[in-house]
A and B are shown apart, each in its own frame.
Chain A
Amino acid sequence: MMNQLFFLAQAESGLSSTVWTYIFVTITFMVYLYIGWSSRVKESSEFYVAGHGVPAIANGAATAADWMSAASFLGMAGLISTMGSDGSIFLLGWTGGYVLLALLLAPYLRKFGQYTVPDFVAKRYYSETARVVAALCAVFVSLTYVAGQMQGVGIVFARFLEVSKTTGVIIGMVIVGFFAVLGGMKGITWTQVVQYGVLIVAFLIPTIWFTGMMTDTSIPQVGFITGDVHTAVNLIHKDLGFDEYTKPFASRSKMNVLLMMFALMAGTAGLPHVIVRFYTVSSVRAARYSAGWALLFIALLYTAAPVLSLFARSNILETLHKAEIVGYETLDGNRYDKLDQLKADAPTAYEDKDFIYKLEAIVVDEKTKKEVHVPVDWINSWQANKLIVFDDTDGDGVIQMNKVPKTKERPSGYQDVPYFHNDILVIAAPEAGGMPNWVIAIVATGGLAAALSTAAGLLLVISSSMAHDLYIHFFEPDAPEHRRILVGRIMIIFGIIIAGYFGIVEIGFIAEVVAIAFGLAAASFFPVIFLGIFDKRCNREGAVSGMIVGILFTAGYILACETHDILPFMFKEPLMEPWLKGLGALEGYEFFKGGISPQGIGTIGCLLNFIVAIVVSRLTPAPPEEIQQLVEDVRIPRGSHDPEAHFDETDAGADNP
């Protein structure tokens, strides 16, 4: 009934955004399915590394899609929008890591040429214990990361299918699982190339639209520096009591910005699902270029994201602040002028906050210079899902966005908007900016592409670590091909269920959850792989103890500081205050303000891993002669085409540029 009315109302102005979303999502899913089906795999080398035959540019685009997840597409712009200048942590952390990857890891790992990161660790450190530790780290890191994706998928479905976020996450689990189980790496690679196209178009269209609307040019990166939007936003921020948008270190101390940025960088370079991408190219040379292409493709979105954040911030503050409340509506469509009437008529809806505020923004008409009232409709569906919550605290009938202290009841920090879910920004922006319905639908489709492509890559790592590195290796070493793939697929389902749980519990906003996964990767893989290539003397004992110390320290610190969010049914308070918090509170020590945040602890874990690995390996015997020879061999490109590197001869010519 509700839906029918909705469609009728939209009939005059073309198709509704929900219908457009169904159309786009159906078309893109059919394309993904077609690719997945036509390149379905029967051999495990294809399942895991696509037979090592992917050209550099294609691999770059696939890496970009694999990499740019719901965190980049949905979460990051929302966070930058509220963090302002400090949002650069995410922008630089997630792009700077590619420099480390391209210079320090990717070419050598390709030369080494195996299936998984634990394979490298096991062989380089001549130890099956090292393999187990690395495989467990890979599973742990990837699960944390998938949880963030599930949350993103949940939000997109919550908006467009008009269901709760939990239902949205469950629908997402089914779809992600379906694609990941079907394809394996070969299907994933070509699907991801298409998904890159979808997500970049979906992100750039609204950004270009906003740029054209708010500045003299249509190129976002140019409009960013020539426009005056930031001055306007700085002014509103001042009015409302927030720090200026362009002022650095407003939301995080200098120390935490440095720590978080490095943790994200080293984490990027150490993430198993990104590293494994460089096993799929045809040569060492292709691995180097591939990293460059990947970053170029990523940079297209990453340089547009801060522009969208700024413009959306301006737009949202200008429409919501001082907006008038013109009525209240229950979810079944009954409208009331006064809150008291709603309370008397529908007491349960009132108690459960199952009603929405109808707002009208007051805008000055450019031509007539008169104030006009414009209904703000984009907030309605978000209110129904409780991802935006209004509360007219002073009862003056006007929404105030003034800064108030953040509390558990009012996590947003706005006076009359106690809850504003950051992750909706990119999806909501086109609607808030009055763009046509098809643009809104394209953005939703892009968000799904971003979350799906990354979740698929991550699930593959989970599956390969569990099946290839743990199960097959220890329980059934001579399992036939079809059985290996079957075990891999079972592990994917297992991974989805755990990730789904964390997607529903919601530890933080998408980008924050994902940042924790990076800390874990930075503290476990980056040092061990780096030393494996650059320090010939590093041995088994050093690597194993380094990884264990790094990941346990980092995970322990995060768990202790965020106990109440990770296990909400067991703990009400965190077990521990962040370190150095006391020092940061002192006069003159603003550098340390707030202590070491759990999202930056990966840097310390990474450092500990390095120290432990180097010290322990100097106190224990040097690695055997053939391992030292292996390291020498990995350092030079010649010979990467030999048979045990699983090189596919037919694709040799596809190597470019």
Chain B
Amino acid sequence: MTNELLKIKNLTTSFRIGDEYYAAVDDVSLTLNKNEVLGIVGESGSGKSALAFSIMRLHTRAKIEGEISLNNRNIVEMSKSKLNKIRGDEMAMIFQDPLTALNPLMPIGRQIEETLFLHNKRLGQQGRKKRVIELINLVGIPRAERVYEQFPHELSGGMRQRIIIAIAIANDPELLIADEPTTALDVTIQAQILDLIRELKEKIHAGIILITHDLGVVAEMADRVAVMYAGQIVEIATVERLFENPLHPYTRSLLNSVPTEGQDRLHVIQGVVPSLKNLPRTGCRFAERIPWVDASYHEENPTLHEVESGHFVRCTCHKHFYFLDKKEEQENVVS
């Protein structure tokens, strides 16, 4: 496939706790095409952020195994200097917290300029400044010349997030990873930032990985969605299909716990998300949260099954899953 931008194969990212390594991302495989937005949804502890950091290789102390191929080059095995040529150029990242992601002691302009300086040596001092002003305008901030000289603390959270986006798109990246880009923002600002990312997508034709816990954000932005639970992808499908015909018990439970029209009670998933140390390493990881589903319905080593073209679900338990509360079941009839 010539359209394929990113291919992740059997990626496992582990962190050391005490003397042992624990996998926060466990055997994840996925692909991303050019011009595509892949949403990755999960709750805290699902490994979605660890996955994003792995792609950028931003973890300082983690063991990464498997393959991450960006335009057919494996990032996992890349030397640091080679990696630095790609980071900020071919691939870039938008961070979650605009209040801490900028250097408080460096003027805004210089922070954007840095990424230009690192990847576009031909651009001179003047050229860089011109481009920075252009970028500040592009992300919708008025009076760019003034902002160029300002320091982060002089801007609002929404403005700072725009600056972080400007840094990310400065070198027209092919892969853009957005890690909870709107979580720290107010709703109206969130809408503006999402619109901005959508507009930019048209302009720079990047493949985007959008990491979020907000199902609404995914529904609005993504072309395809991967749902993560306890370090694994449990379901992956086109956005329409995932919201119309969710299959994995976790996906269905999650969709039912969001307040929507005409709902009396929200669905509650039994138990808690297991901590990294206590993840069940064998069998279906979601089994303990749905104890009423007979153990025999789970696979011994659950794998992703393609139930329809492009729609994958982990484990076989989804075929036998039902909500305990009958009423919820009726509201969520599998079509």
Real complex partners, A and B? Answer: no
- CB within 8 Å of B: which residues of A? none
- CB within 8 Å of A: which residues of B? none
